[in-house]
Structure 1
Amino acid sequence: MASFAIDSHLNSKVAGLFFITCLITGLAIKHYVYGQKLGFTLTETHFQQHLYKGGWVLRWHNIRKIDTLDYTIQGWTTSIPWIGVEIKDYQAFISTISPKVITQILLHQRSLLYLGLKQHGRQHELEDHIINDKPFFYSDGSCVKGLKAMLANRMMIQKELWGYDLFIAESDVLTSKEEFVGMARRYLAASHSDASI
């Protein structure tokens, strides 16, 4: 009887260990598959980020400038691992993005929102901007609500804080941010001059 109790106790420990191992393996696989960054495409006509859940596309004629970001506080300036993209027309950009990608952008770039507010001494405004789903009106008078409005409102405050609307983390690019910005600027300049790269 005692050996049956020991075997039963041992079997439950082995079963529990097996379950935990399967759970950890499943979570690791999910993180790898869903978390991977699939890269960028730069062509003569557009600039595109590919993510597992979708991506976003910007035509070069809808980009005003691309540059690295600097963080300034109390008179000190330091480079941070982000690239900023200034967009001319939100509607052309936002109308093509899926809700999953919008959610990913909002979550991924919230640290920049906090840093931007902090460098302007406006940290107390964070809650007002983190989930701002007020209807957003495009320049043609049309209105968006929900996630698209949240993205447009976030882009507006980021533009006010940083001078850019959309951001790319340096960890998302395969080269240094300076090299990536240099390459993107060559495509941007060629698209505005109708030259080829």
Structure 2
Amino acid sequence: MSGNETSDTIYIRGVSSHNGITTLIVGGVALMIGNLTITLLPELFFLAGILVIAAGIIALTMGFFKIREPKYSLEITKQHLVYHHRLGKWRIEWDNLQRVDVPRVHKGLEHIDLEMVGFRLKDPEAMLANISPRLITHLLMEQRPLVAQIELSNCESGRCYGDDLIEDAKYKMRSGELIKGVTAMFANRMRKLQSGLGYDVFISVNELDRSAHEFVALIRQCHDSVKASAVRADDTHNSAAPIQD
């Protein structure tokens, strides 16, 4: 298991970041083999050499992006859960977490688990201050299949809306403040996903070092532990408070 635990923090390293150097080496070797095939072998092998070169370029590209990823995709502390990406990060405070589970969608008469973990927040707007615009842009693209799943489920139930997957660039906060741009689009996307799938924020299983259900169990255990610690701290504080006459 690639997760790393300390006394106060649990680190999760996703499978998507594994073997970056190995992938680069494989890609480089494939490029050399392809070039040698084109240069030294008869013309009959020219097409094979081109295919090997193409495979090498793909492997090099994959390896490049793998080594650019942060060492750990998730950091679990006593205060919060932090997601790390090469484009930024987001954070969920424990007292803002309402529910965590594997989202499910209807497919005919069956319920199908998505390859994701979903987080439902008590206050989704609190997350907007903890996420960079660059990461928001990436997540809006990454989440398009989730929106498509919602649309597909709606169509199967006879309620097709024809959503074009583009969110409104304006969003009114509960405080009355009007925000615009990609942050507003992300807020509207969270609202749509919560309405359709029941969760505001999602993590792909590729970002995990264990199955989705095992990760859900870990987060629930951490959440319960934090709540229990808070209760004990309150009890200690109350018992230590002087009695007022």
Residue 118 (structure 1) aligned with residue 155 (structure 2) = no
Deviations 1:136-181 (A, max 9, x none): 1111111211000010000101011001011111111011111100
Where do 5+ consecutive residues of structure 1 fail to align?
Answer: 1-12
Moved more, 47-56 or 132-141: 132-141
Residue 64 (structure 1) aligned with residue 101 (structure 2) = no
> One-letter code of the match for 2:201?
L
Deviation at 1:60, TM superposition (A): 0.7
Equivalence map 1:52-131=2 (5 Å): 52-121=86-155, 122=159, 124-127=161-164, 130-131=165-166
Deviation at 1:73, TM superposition (A): 2.4
Identity of aligned residues (%): 26
Contact 1:37–1:172 under 8 Å retained in 2 = no
Give the 3-state SS of the residue equivalent to 1:126 in structure 2: coil
Question: Normalized against structure 1, the TM-score is what?
Answer: 0.79
> One-letter code of the match for 1:115?
Q
Q: Identify the residue that residue 179 of structure 2 maps to in structure 1.
A: 144
Choose between structure 1 and 2: higher strand proportion: 1
Q: Identify the residue that residue 158 of structure 1 maps to in structure 2.
A: 193
Question: Normalized against structure 2, the TM-score is what?
Answer: 0.65
Give the 3-state SS of the residue equivalent to 1:174 in structure 2: coil
Give the 3-state SS of the residue equivalent to 1:38 in structure 2: coil
CA distance in 2 between counterparts of 1:36 and 1:186 reads 25
Contact 2:89–2:130 under 8 Å retained in 1 = no
Give the 3-state SS of the residue equivalent to 1:190 in structure 2: helix
Q: How many residue pairs end up in the alignment? A: 177
Contact 1:37–1:52 under 8 Å retained in 2 = no
CA distance in 2 between counterparts of 1:47 and 1:84 reads 13
Deviation at 1:120, TM superposition (A): 2.0
Runs (4 or more) in structure 1 with deviation over 3 Å come to 23-30, 33-38
CA distance in 2 between counterparts of 1:35 and 1:133 reads 30
Q: Identify the residue that residue 5 of structure 2 maps to in structure 1.
A: none
Q: CA RMSD in A?
A: 2.5
Where relative contact order (Cα < 8 A, 6+ residues apart) is larger, the structure is 1
